[in-house]
Amino acid sequence: MSLDSARAAAAARPGSAAAAALRGSRDARYGDCMATVDLNCDLGEGFGAWAIGDDAALLGLVTSANVACGFHAGDPQIMLATCRLAAERGVAIGAHVAYRDLHGFGRRPMPVTPDELFADVVYQLGALRAAAAAAGTRVSYVKPHGALYNVAVRDAVQADAVARACAAVDPRLALLALPGSELLRAASAHGLVPVAETFADRAFQPDGTLVPRARPGSVLHDPDEIAARVVRLVTEGRVTAIDGSELAVDARSVCVHGDTPDAVAIAARVRAELTAAGVELRAFA
């Protein structure tokens, strides 16, 4: 292993002396930065014999894990195994709740009533809380997945159903979503902790929402480009939208998708560049 690789691996352990030393010798390109940010990732998204992403590697890089709860992906064994590994690595666990859509990986809007959505979120959150308890840890936040996320950031009725379900199960939970979204407004209304996030590997529309995956350029793939973008997001609070306009972003967490090709390389590069910029990576919950 090279010296650079060894230093990067050591810095991936948040509390290590090497991490502190690396922060102390941060890259001069970034000046003096005292920011703190969470790095979250969608994990546990296999099903049965099918695996998606390298969860073990990603859990060595991120600080929060959005664990699939069985509706868009995941099954009891995968949920328990993911919670156990997250607990071992000291990674915070969030419930990645979704529409009931295994076939479409939760990326298709579903015509559900608020009462149906409330029950579905309660069910998924209860299942993951049990898996986390069996693994000696806990669920500390909720982040909707895919189509549910994209609908609920705009739709106050669906956002309210999600937040109401979370509060009914555990009012101490945080709810993770885009800044200024209906989800964060609903979280506040129901006494949850609203936490704003941004995305490392997704393009933004001029209004700050995500570019739909069906559009060209919606998903970014180059680790260096993504890492530079994230450092700017975290240290300057700005990002360039898909039309070239500039957006102001105030977020406490950055998401890297675990099912993206080269997700491990992207997460590693993002972590390394944030550390070089003097940013401390720490779970928000």
What's residue 260's pLDDT? 85
Spatial CA neighbour of 161 closest among 128, 125, 197, 133? 125
Type of residue at 18: A
Topology adopted by domain 31-281: TIM Barrel (3.20.20)
Which pLDDT belongs to residue 285? 86
Question: Which residue ranges make up each domain of the chain?
Answer: 31-281
- Burial readout 195-216 (b: 16 or more C-beta within 10 A, e: otherwise): bbbbbbbbbbbeebbbbeeeee
- pTM attached to this predicted model: 0.86
SS3 282: coil
pLDDT at 61 exceeding the cut of 80: yes
pLDDT, tens digit, for every residue of 159-216? 999 999 999 999 999 999 999 999 999 999 999 999 999 999 999 999 888 898 889 9
Confidence of residue 250 (pLDDT cuts 50, 70, 90): very high
Mean residue pLDDT of the chain comes to 89
Q: pLDDT digit string (tens) for 218-231? A: 999 999 999 999 99
